[in-house]
A and B are shown apart, each in its own frame.
Chain A
Amino acid sequence: MPVISYFFLGIFLLILQTSLITILPERVGRPDVFFVLIVFVAIRLKFVHGAVLLLVLGLIMDIFSGIFLGIYPITYLLLFFLLHGIARRLAIHESAHRIPLVVTSYLFVNSLLYTFASYLAPENELIWNWKEILMQILLLAIITLPLFTLFETFDAILTPKKGAQFFLRPKNKNTFRD
């Protein structure tokens, strides 16, 4: 059930991303809200659920973006495996790590997209536009925390037990004792 709800949330954000947000002037920037959800899903959902959802969202993203089918599902799956791999060693769920996590993931995904697109059509030279990328990174840094809070609220509604545990957990517990 949460996977389906995240799927519809993803579709909603994708529609928002491709229609309403594109109306914003280029100089103001167009924050990639859909990508923040991709990262959230990658670190929040269980392995199989997360992988399937990102694969499906990647397939849908292929329809709305780019000309090479298949590069978004592969990119999102690679991001998912990378984040799951990192999550085993680092505490990336901590709120302090969210902004660096999203920004690094964005650079990783765009590097992959650039590499795939250049490999699939080597005659069409892509230009790595640092100005646009830095602008997007700045916007992501601004929207990450509010959006993560929003998604966590959404997650708490979807999984009440988990949400209740989150809100009712002992505040002054010594975490090093566990």
Chain B
Amino acid sequence: MRKKNKKSKQIQLFFLFGSILTFILILIASTVGRQELNGPQRLALDLIGKGQYVFTRLTTGVANVWGDYIALVHIRDENKRLSEELDKFKETNIKYREAVATNVRLSKLLQVKDSLPPPTLTAQIVGRDPSLWFRTIIIDRGSSEGVEKGMPVVTVEGVVGQILDTSPNYSKVLLANDPNSAIDVLVQKNRVQGIVKGNGSNGFNLLYVLKNAGVEKGDAIVTSGLGDIFPKGLPVGKVSEVTKSKRGMFQQIDVEPSVDFSQLEYLIIIMHENSLADQDFGKQYH
């Protein structure tokens, strides 16, 4: 009985697979030569297509993110490289500008040097007085180059001061705006004499000019050449204010310096004709 049941099940299975196979064969036979999908094919395409779509989107998304990341890495490198390049060019540009500015300043100094009585020596400022009460600077030329106490120091614009002390390689300069500085000067237009003294800040006072002397605002003040320290005719400044008080013999005259003492950089030392620089270093610096 059991054996008979088993046999009938086998026959049923055989018929089922046979039917499915036949259906598939009919389906294949009916599909061959056609160009249109049938219903089940469309359904399959739709389902698989959806999967493909999702997968492709995911892959594309990941690929894009990866691509963007890689690109960012490259861009970062590129950006870094370009920034470095830009910095380098900026630095070069600053150097060129500084070189041009130095060239202009030195050209002007050369022009002034040509107009001054030889010998002269160019110097650079290396230090400034830190105190509130004194106006001195340190320059990079000293007694080994023939610099001596009392030598006048000038720039393109005019009088700066005079040498106060020297060491073999450096010198201290007393600026003309120091209250302890005094220079013999002339009012250029009428040759009235006076003495210019520093007022401790960025200005001068013109002293010992009589009240009857015609001095007006804007008059040019130049060195008188008296005392054999400063050569005659160097610009000192311009009269900025004239006050005639009722008392006293003299006028109170304020002078605006021709030199901007806060912008000093390169200076010219006017050497004595018999100085060491003239004897030994003249050829080197002229």
Contact = CB atoms under 8 A, between A and B. Distances in A.
A and B interact physically: yes
Contacts of B93: none
A66 B128 contact: no
Contact of A129 (B132, B164, B180, B197): B132
Contacts of A30: 130
Interface stretch (A14-22, A95-103, A170-178): A14-22
Given A63-B172, A124-B179, A18 B134 contact: no
B133 A18 contact: no
Interface string B143-177: 00000000000000000000011000000101000
A61 to B, nearest CB: 9
B130 A17 contact: yes
**Among the interface residues B127, B132, B133, which one has the most CB atoms of the partner chain A within 10 A?**
B133
B231 interface: no
Interface string B112-151: 0000000000000011111111101010000000000000
B132 A22 contact: no
A94 interface: no
Contacts of A15: 127
**Among the interface residues B127, B174, B178, which one has the most CB atoms of the partner chain A within 10 A?**
B127
Give the interface size bracket for A toward B.
20 to 34
A156 interface: no
A5 interface: no
Contacts of B200: 126-127, 129
**Among the interface residues A17, A19, A66, A110, which one has the most CB atoms of the partner chain B within 10 A?**
A66
B133 A126 contact: yes
**Among the interface residues A63, A121, A133, which one has the most CB atoms of the partner chain B within 10 A?**
A63
B132 A66 contact: no
**Among the interface residues B128, B130, B197, which one has the most CB atoms of the partner chain A within 10 A?**
B130
A76 B129 CA distance: 17
A147 to B, nearest CB: 15
Contacts of A21: 130
B10 interface: no
Contacts of A32: 130
Contacts of A136: 132
B178 A67 contact: yes
Given A17-B130, A22-B127, A124-B197, A64 B138 contact: yes
Contacts of B134: 65-67, 117
A36 to B, nearest CB: 13
A63 B165 CA distance: 9
Interface in A14-44: 15, 17-19, 21-22, 26, 30, 32, 34
Contact of B132 (A34, A121, A133): A133
Interface of B: 126-134, 136, 138, 164-165, 172, 174, 178-180, 197, 199-201, 262
Given A21-B130, A66-B136, A117-B133, 18 more contacts: A18-B129, A19-B126, A19-B127, A32-B130, A64-B129, A64-B138, A65-B131, A65-B136, A66-B129, A67-B178, A110-B132, A113-B133, A114-B133, A125-B179, A127-B199, A127-B201, A129-B132, A129-B200
